[in-house]
Structure 1
Amino acid sequence: MSPTVSPSSNQLSRPDVARLSALLSSAFHQDALTRWMIPDERLRAELLPGFFRVFVELSAAYDGVLTTADGDAVLLFLPPGAEPDEAALDAAFAGVLGAHADALRTIARLQAQRHPHGPPHYYVSFGAVRAGRRQSGLISGLLGELLARADAEGVGAYVEASSPGGEAASRRAGFDRLGGDIALPDGGPVLRPMWRDPR
């Protein structure tokens, strides 16, 4: 397994951001959540790199990007106490998603209703592995690195799994379900909130 690195915001060059955004876009192109948000296949391929660029830059601002050294896997997260500028984020997403920003706002509103606000925790937002390297343990390695950090700090971790693979990886890392699923409107997909106590 490749060693991992944790780029800080000033170590992520513009090409780094573009490369990680493209990796996430490719990995999530057929994810139920992004298909619900942007139903049109061609438009989804066009918009997702910009969508993920916002997330990469947000996570990098909080030193919340873990990648393998070869760049074949990435994990985005926010640390305890992170307080992003919600208005600025909304404007950034509106700029890249256009009319589809309303769908993202619906997702974010439902997530906020269920997000745990008590104990401090790391919030894992996205993880992706390049096609051809999946099922190789890369995400489990990155997640394990993050959870070792959380354990050392005595804080929990929270994730919302959007796919069976994401849920399986989270369960292997010690996450358990936290309440019921988050169901998106109009027969949309579900997100599964999951929590892990520090060890």
Structure 2
Amino acid sequence: MDGVHARPATRADVGALSRTLGRAFLDDPVMCWMLPDAEARRRKLPKLFSSMTRHQHLAHGGVEVVPDGAGGIGGAAVWAPPGAWRATRAEELRAMPGLMWAFGRSLKRGLVIEEMMKKAHPEEPHWYLAFIGTDPDVRGKGYGQALMNSRLDRCDAEHAPAYLESSKPDNVPYYQRFGFEITGEITPPGGPTLIPMWRAAR
């Protein structure tokens, strides 16, 4: 893991980190359900992540990136700090044009999932991992681990719990290695199951 280090993202990173997350989520079950056409997904996901990062998360200081050593971003994690996981009305309005462009008629599905996720979301203050992803070209090189450890070290320093929803069952054991435990299931009508996971304060 030499040279693989997470750092806070800046506004200048948003384009590159959004492209990386777009590539990382290309085969994500929820994104495939929302945008079944692979070419549309490839085109639209970077815009979606850009809109959500820029308008909902960057200002809260929970976005981190790992540079790939070639001038790009190899991995990115988007966290919301305690008390800030729920987007404000203003943040939602600013992000909405990007969401509408990305999802079009599928936006209703997204709103259904979002509502179910909000209902399942813990009330206790915690760090919330909204998205984490690495470019497929650098998978297995420690980028995800660097991102997870960076924020979880802070969680431990603050004695704060952490929460996420895994949209891929295959990723559950990975998160369990970092101390997350399954707390239930979120299954939208006709859609894929999300697995909420909680990491107690330590």
TM-score by length of 2: 0.88
Q: What is the identity, as a one-letter code, of the residue corresponding to 2:6?
A: T
Structure 2 partner of 1:106: 112
Equivalent of residue 24 in structure 1, options 9, 21, 25: 21
Equivalent of residue 60 in structure 1, options 58, 61, 69: 58
Q: Distance in 2 between matches of 1:18 and 1:3?
A: 19
Structure 2 gaps, min length 5: none
Give runs of ≥4 in structure 1 deviating > 6 Å: none
| Aligned positions, number | 191
- The more displaced of 32-41 and 64-73 is 64-73
Aligned residues of 1:160 and 1:194 also touching (Cα < 8 A):
yes
Structure 1 gaps, min length 5: none
Within-5 A mapping of 1:1-199? 1=1, 2-7=4-9, 11-13=10-12, 16-57=13-54, 58-70=56-68, 71-82=73-84, 83-86=86-89, 87-88=92-93, 91-92=96-97, 93-117=99-123, 119-178=124-183, 180-186=184-190, 188-199=191-202
For residues 54-101 of structure 1, what are the alpha-carbon distances to aligned partners after superposition, in whole Å with 9 as ceiling and x for unaligned?
Answer: 222122111111111332111111000215224415623224422221
State percent identity of aligned pairs: 31
The offset of 1:39, in angstroms, is 1.2
Q: Distance in 1 between matches of 2:53 and 2:171?
A: 19
- The more displaced of 91-100 and 61-70 is 91-100
TM-score by length of 1: 0.89
Aligned residues of 2:60 and 2:80 also touching (Cα < 8 A):
yes
